[in-house]
Structure formats: structure tokens, C-alpha cells
Amino acid sequence: MLWLVLCLVVVPVVTANGRLPNDTIPLHYDLHLEVTGLGLDDYTYRGNVSIRIAIARDTDQIVLHNLGNTLRTISVRRCRDGVQIPHQLLETDESSELLRIRTDRVLDRVDDKVIQLVIEFNNTLGVDHMGFYRTQYRGPKRVPMTVATTHFQPSYARMAFPCFDEPGLKSTFALTIVSNASHLVASNTPIETISWLLDGHKAATTLLTSLEQYTGQSLGLKKLDHAAIPEFGKAMENWGLVSYDEQFLVLSANAHRLQRAQAVLTIAHETAHQLFGNLVGPAWWSYLWLSEGFATYFEILLGSEVYPELLPLEESFAVRHMRPALLADAFEGHALTVEPLAADSARIEMLFDTITYSKAGCILRMIN
């Protein structure tokens, strides 16, 4: 008699375009960071991230992103009863920037349902404006002062801590930062004290109010801070804590009209992103033009409403976006929706161009 035995093993694989499998979905992060060496020329930091993860499909692997973090310990347990789940570290692949953890048994989407992954790690604050990095400014008496800040778009959160670093995998966060008492710490959620830089507060609060009134959508932001970051060179719409290069936020009393207009547009653009991109946004970078297009459209709309003397609506759209969009479309155009689009950070970075910003904004204005 001949017996045939089949052994079935659940093996999730990263999709052909480098995307994460959809077997495990992050629900909530508890992130603990210890940054105590600033000012002492010690730029290392310690971290602990605890992630509540829903099991969407039966699987024996947890796959997430990690780049540059030195892992100290990893633990996995079932949330409903705290039972530890035996596992092994399968792979930390620098080229694919993935961390794979294989469990000794299949995680059942019904029985296990939600698990908790805890990772302790070490890292160092870099200087390349990606992930969690450091920069400097001149303080009182021109003394060099160090700032530790973050920049995660499009795929740099994985450089700061292990995480599910895709735009469609939004989660809630609880953040704890341990630092020296002399340091000022600002985050995305309310803190005990808030400091505003020069007159950035007036423009930012007025633009936020106008956005909520125009769209009829309350963002539910408990606070919205705007921080000037030395040598940042751009702006980034972090939820509740927007970061800017100093030129966009810190203006002298005799700043030129064009400089003031650019500052208003930048603040309006990042404020619009609190709704378009943060509160709601595309699941993948193929549809980046939707979040950037709406932010471009509203930067002019809100800016011209709040500061009509600086930004007349029709003139501003034509000069700042329509003409550049037509020129870019003639020489370097690409489809607004880019599919297929692999998980390639360099390729994704290239999408942040005139087509994605200006052409998308113009098309949305035409629809309006």
C-alpha cells in the first residue's frame, strides 16, 4: 500500500514589488526612546517598540521593516491571555530592509486574533536628514546647539525604529521620550507647554481654521505645533507637529513680499496635509498625486483667502503651478497614477516632482 503524506506550511512572502504581505496589520504602537547624550557628543539612543498586531490571515511569519537598528531582544505574545509565542529571528535583510520573525506555530486569525510584538533596539542619530537624525543651530552667544528631529517620508521611519513602514498601514501611537531636563521635547500630541516662533502661530492657526470651515471636516487635532528645523531645506506635515526649514517660519519684520508669500503657501500646504495625507490618504505611493494635489490646491485657496494681498487666487495658480506643470508635462511628464510601483525608495522619491504637485493641483482646480 502506498501512502501519500502532505505537509502544509504557511509561508508568507513579500510580493513581487517588494510590498509587505497583508497577513499582519499593526493596530497600535507604544514607542519608548531614550535620548540623553545630546550636548555630550553622545548621539546613540535606546528604544523599545511594542506593537499590537491583528492577524488578518493564518501565518507563521511576522514581516515588518527595519533598517540600521541593532536589535537587542524580541518577544511575541497573544494579547487576550498573555501567552508567549515561541519564535525565531528568520532574517534581517539590509537590501530589502525587512525584518522577518518566524513563529514556531501558525498564528490563527480567529484563535490568536491580536498579538503583541516587543522589540528592544539601539541606534545612532544620523546626519543625513533621514529617520531620526541630528542637526545644529547657533544659540546664545553663537554657541552650537544640537537638535534631534525626524523625517520619515517616504520610507525612512524604518531607520528610526522597527515598524510597518507603508502609507496604508496607519496606526495610533503612544510616545515616551526620555531626555535631559534641559531639553525641550515636542511631539505630535499635546504637551504641557507650547512655544511658538515669531508670527508663525498667527498664520498657522488662521489657515487651519479656514481649512476646517471650507471642508466642513474637523480634524480632531488637539494641538498643531510648527517647528523650525535648522538646515532642513523643506517642510514636512507630521501629524500635530509640522517641521519647516527656518526660512519658511522665521521671518524678519522687513521680509520681502515674495518671501512672506512663500512662507504662507508652505504653511498652508502642510496644514492642508493634516487632512489630505494624514487623516485620509492613499494606501500606496502610486496615488501620491491625490494627497499632494489636494495640498497644492488648498495652499493657494486658503492662502488667497487669508492673505489676499499677498496671494491673488488666479494669478498665484497660473504663475506658481499651471505654467510649471505645462512645461514639466511637455518634457518629463508621467502619468499621475504610477502603476505598478515597486517598494523602491529611490523610485518613490522621484515621484515628488512638478507633475505630482503642480499638475495634480491644476487638475483638481479644473474639476472644482
Separation in Å, CA 167 to CA 107, 281, 290: 25, 8, 13
Q: Is 273 annotated as a binding residue?
A: yes
The catalytic residues are 270
Quick one: three-class SS letters along the chain? Answer: CCCCCCCCCCCCCCCCCCCCCCCEEEEEEEEEEECCCCCCCCCEEEEEEEEEEEECCCEEEEEEECCCCEEEEEEEEECCCCCECCEEEEEEECCCCEEEEEEEEEECCCCCCEEEEEEEEEEECECCCCEEEEEEEECHHHCEEEEEEEECCCCCHHHCCCECCCCCCCCEEEEEEECCCCCCCCCCCCCCCCCCCCCHHHHHHHHHHHHHHHHCCCCCCCCCEEEEECCCCCEECCCCEEEEEHHHCCCCCCCCHHHHHHHHHHHHHHHHHCCECCCECCCCHHHHHHHHHHHHHHHHHHHHHHCCCCCCHHHHHHHHHHHHHHHHHHHHCCCCCCCCCCCCHHHHHHCCCHHHHHHHHHHHHHHC
Q: Is 32 annotated as a binding residue?
A: no
Kind of pairing between the strands at 98-107 and 59-65: antiparallel
Q: Is 97 annotated as a binding residue?
A: no
Residue numbers belonging to the annotated binding site for Zn(2+): 269, 273, 292
Residue numbers belonging to the annotated binding site: 269, 273, 292
